[in-house]
């Protein structure tokens, strides 16, 4: 069964699980374009700033009640140099889920939550080229609660309306 929901903002029924994410880590996004060019290396999966701050792209998967597919946030997390090197060394390996997990700091501010920057995470590598999965520290932060407890289809519709229509 395909997931669908009624958008309260536009009144349309949308089919498929939406997902949202950031194109770059927060630190990168705060820089002027010329500064980015001089200080950063960014591709679709990794970002290095000043040859010292290492970030990888990953997902925070939120279980959706009644659906086999999670709602996913595309995020960036910082890793230590050692953890980044371990991630990089196995990046092209089909079987890499046995490596890690790694400690990381969430480096994306998600717009519908209180401050998400620097939430503590565990970065779990996944096999077959799938981006790493983020496990948030089990706190009372709303994002951590949603990851732990799951959300309803109505919450998915609410997130969609907020992010797509500003409602």
Total domains in the chain come to 1
**What SS3 class is residue 48?**
strand
Instruction: Say if CB 106 and CB 119 are below 8 A apart.
Output: yes
Instruction: Say if CB 19 and CB 72 are below 8 A apart.
Output: yes
In a domain, 39, yes or no: yes
pTM of the model: 0.94
Distances in whole angstroms, Cα of residue 35 to Cα of each of 1, 38, 84: 47, 5, 23
In a domain, 15, yes or no: no
In a domain, 96, yes or no: yes
- pLDDT for 12 equals 87
In a domain, 3, yes or no: no
In a domain, 123, yes or no: yes
In a domain, 13, yes or no: no
DSSP state of 52: T
The CA distance from 157 to 150, in Å, is 14
Quickly tell me which residue has 């002027």 as its tokens: 32
- pLDDT for 166 equals 80
Instruction: Compute mean pLDDT per 10 residues along the chain, 167 residues long, and list them.
Output: 82 90 97 96 97 97 96 98 97 96 98 96 97 97 98 93 85
Domain interval for residue 85: 21-149
């Amino acid at each position: 069964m395909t997931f669908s929901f009624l958008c309260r903002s536009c009144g349309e029924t949308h089919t498929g699980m939406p997902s949202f994410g950031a194109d770059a880590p927060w630190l990168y996004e705060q820089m002027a374009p010329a500064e980015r060019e001089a200080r950063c290396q960014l591709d679709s999966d990794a970002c290095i700033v000043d040859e010292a701050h290492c970030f990888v792209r990953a997902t925070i998967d939120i279980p959706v009640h009644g659906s086999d597919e999670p709602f996913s946030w595309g995020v960036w997390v910082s890793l230590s140099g050692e953890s980044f090197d371990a991630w990089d060394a196995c990046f092209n390996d089909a079987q890499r889920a046995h490596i890690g997990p790694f400690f990381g700091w969430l480096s994306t501010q998600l717009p519908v939550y209180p401050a998400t920057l620097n939430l503590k995470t565990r970065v779990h590598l996944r096999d077959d080229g799938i981006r790493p999965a983020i496990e948030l520290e089990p706190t009372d932060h709303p994002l951590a609660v949603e990851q732990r407890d799951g959300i309803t289809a109505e919450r998915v519709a609410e997130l969609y309306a907020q992010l797509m229509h500003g409602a």
